[in-house]
């Protein structure tokens, strides 16, 4: 038996022994997605965290995702196998800075993308993900929306609402560096391919894409579509499941640089260590947890659309 198979067997053994469930985001390494009990987008994984009967949730993703699981399921032990796996976009807004900005727009509702810290969620009225951002914004009574932290998602939402969207100046470095030139080049190489982009991409990229979808939206669409070829404008880990679930179709990356190092930080070794050593447990102080849970609960009532 090779080394990798020994590690996989140990992970599976410990999962059963410790009543643990492994959740993995669609951008994780292929081998992590393959061993996970559930893979999905931010919204789907938050829901899975609630639904699981397990004692331990091992969250293979970045810090804010494990934090959301800890907020929603405080009775479970939530582990993040790599403590340094954080989201640079989530770090672009702090609770203090948001409190200051709120003073400038006292009538605005605050919508915060789940890619944010628990403290920022606690300062917000409602959360959203890429799968429901438009619906969340349109569900609110307020006419002004302070939207944090992703300026690209804010811009995308502004096209589907009559409300005034006040964007924060944050962005995902991985998506923001996908350029229209990359899409044009990929289209030249694959003229029959449909372009599917994530709304964290800049407007000029979305403008030349056929579909704008969350990561799970991409998986659903690729299955339904009659197209046989797709150019995928998002983090490149996305291609693993797309190819696995649609072996008769072809998927091409939009840019070789569309890789999020944070999402690649977890590997089979760190996953095994996490189960063996109970590391790293993610917790949220109760005063912050209760308020941030309100923002997540409000979001959960709104249906996904993308
Ligand atoms: P979704 O999986 O919700 O589309 O999010 C993308 C993302 O960037 C997560 O970090
Ligand atoms: Fe954050 Fe972007 Fe990485 Fe997602 S892909 S974790 S938004 S930096």
- DSSP codes, 74-141: TTSEEE-S-TT---TTGGG--HHHHHHHHHH-TTPEEEEESSS-HHHHHTSSEEE-TTTHHHHHHT-S
Token output for 87: 């989201």
- Tens-place pLDDT, residues 240-292: 999 999 999 999 999 999 999 999 999 999 999 999 999 999 999 999 999 99
- DSSP letter for each residue of 141-202: S-SEEEEESBHHHHHHHHTT-SSEEEE-SB--HHHHT--HHHHHHHHHH-TTPEEEE-TTS-
143, 278: one domain: no
Q: How confident is the model at residue 133 (pLDDT cuts 50, 70, 90)?
A: very high
Euclidean distance between CA atoms 290 and 244, whole angstroms: 39
- Which residues have C-beta within 8 Å of that of residue 43, sequence separation ≥ 6? 114, 129, 131, 132, 214, 216, 304
Ligand nearest to the CA of 236: 2
Ligand nearest to the CA of 90: 2
Out of 68, 115, 234, 236, mutate this one to test ligand 2's pocket (max ligand atoms within 8 Å of CB): namely: 115
Name the domain count of the chain: 3
Expressed in angstroms and rounded, the spacing between residue 247 Cα and the centre of ligand 1 is 23
Write the CATH number for 249. 3.40.50.10800
Identify the pLDDT of residue 96: 98
41 lines ligand 1 (CB under 6 A): yes
Q: Is residue 305 part of a domain?
A: no
Identify the pLDDT of residue 44: 86
C-beta of residue 173 within 8 angstroms of C-beta of residue 88 = yes
125, 198: one domain: no
Expressed in angstroms and rounded, the spacing between residue 222 Cα and the centre of ligand 1 is 17
Q: Is residue 258 part of a domain?
A: no
130 lines ligand 1 (CB under 6 A): yes
Nearest CA to ligand 1 atom 9: 42
150, 296: one domain: yes
Q: Is residue 109 part of a domain?
A: yes
- Tens-place pLDDT, residues 207-238: 999 999 999 999 999 999 999 999 999 999 99
Q: Is residue 77 part of a domain?
A: yes
Residue 172 CA: nearest ligand 2 atom is 2
162, 135: one domain: yes
Identify the pLDDT of residue 187: 98
- Phi first, then psi, for residue 246 (nearest 5°) are -135, 65
105, 153: one domain: yes
Q: Is residue 306 part of a domain?
A: no
Residue 62 CA: nearest ligand 1 atom is 10
Nearest CA to ligand 2 atom 6: 87
Nearest CA to ligand 2 atom 3: 260
Q: Is residue 190 part of a domain?
A: yes
Residue 130's nearest CA partner among 215, 210, 202 is: 215
In this prediction, residues 170-186 reach a mean pLDDT of 98
59, 199: one domain: no
Expressed in angstroms and rounded, the spacing between residue 28 Cα and the centre of ligand 2 is 11
247, 269: one domain: no
Euclidean distance between CA atoms 179 and 202, whole angstroms: 8
Nearest CA to ligand 2 atom 7: 172
145, 293: one domain: yes
157, 293: one domain: yes
pLDDT above 90 for 55:
yes
Identify the pLDDT of residue 47: 84
Q: How confident is the model at residue 49 (pLDDT cuts 50, 70, 90)?
A: confident
Nearest CA to ligand 2 atom 5: 260
22, 37: one domain: yes
Identify the pLDDT of residue 129: 94
Euclidean distance between CA atoms 112 and 132, whole angstroms: 12
| Alpha-carbon Rg for the chain in angstroms | 19
Residue 129, domain extent: 90-171+287-300
C-beta of residue 117 within 8 angstroms of C-beta of residue 142 = no
148, 221: one domain: no
Euclidean distance between CA atoms 65 and 24, whole angstroms: 10
Ligand 2 site residues (CB inside 6 A) read: 27, 62, 87-89, 115, 172-175, 235, 260, 262-263
154, 291: one domain: yes
Expressed in angstroms and rounded, the spacing between residue 1 Cα and the centre of ligand 1 is 36
């Amino acid at each position: 038996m090779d080394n990798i198979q020994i590690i996989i067997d140990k992970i599976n053994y410990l999962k059963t022994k410790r009543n643990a469930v492994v959740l993995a985001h669609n951008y994780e390494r292929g081998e992590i997605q393959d061993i996970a009990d559930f893979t999905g987008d931010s919204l789907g994984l938050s829901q899975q965290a609630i639904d699981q009967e397990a004692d331990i949730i091992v969250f293979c993703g970045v810090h804010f995702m494990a934090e959301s699981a800890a907020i929603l399921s405080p009775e479970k032990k939530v582990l993040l196998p790599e403590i340094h796996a954080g989201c640079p976009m989530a770090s672009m807004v702090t609770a203090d800075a948001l409190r200051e900005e709120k003073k400038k727009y006292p009538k605005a509702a605050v919508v915060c993308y789940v890619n944010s810290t628990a403290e920022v969620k606690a300062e917000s009225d409602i959360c959203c993900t890429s799968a429901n951002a438009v619906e969340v914004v349109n569900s609110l009574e307020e006419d002004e929306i302070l939207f944090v932290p992703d300026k690209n998602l804010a811009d995308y939402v502004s096209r589907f609402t009559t409300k005034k969207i006040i964007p924060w100046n944050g962005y995902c470095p991985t998506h923001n560096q996908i350029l229209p030139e990359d899409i044009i080049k990929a289209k030249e190489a694959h003229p029959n391919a449909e372009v599917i982009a994530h709304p964290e991409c800049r407007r000029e990229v979305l403008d030349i894409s056929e579909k704008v979808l969350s990561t799970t939206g991409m998986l659903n669409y690729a299955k339904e579509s009659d197209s046989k070829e797709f150019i995928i404008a998002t983090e490149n880990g996305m291609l693993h499941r797309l190819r696995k679930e649609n072996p008769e179709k072809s998927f091409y990356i939009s840019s070789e640089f569309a890789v999020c190092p944070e999402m690649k930080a977890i590997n089979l070794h760190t996953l095994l260590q996490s189960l063996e050593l109970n590391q790293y447990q993610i917790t949220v102080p109760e005063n912050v947890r209760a308020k941030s849970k309100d923002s997540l609960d409000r979001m959960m009532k709104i249906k996904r659309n993308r």
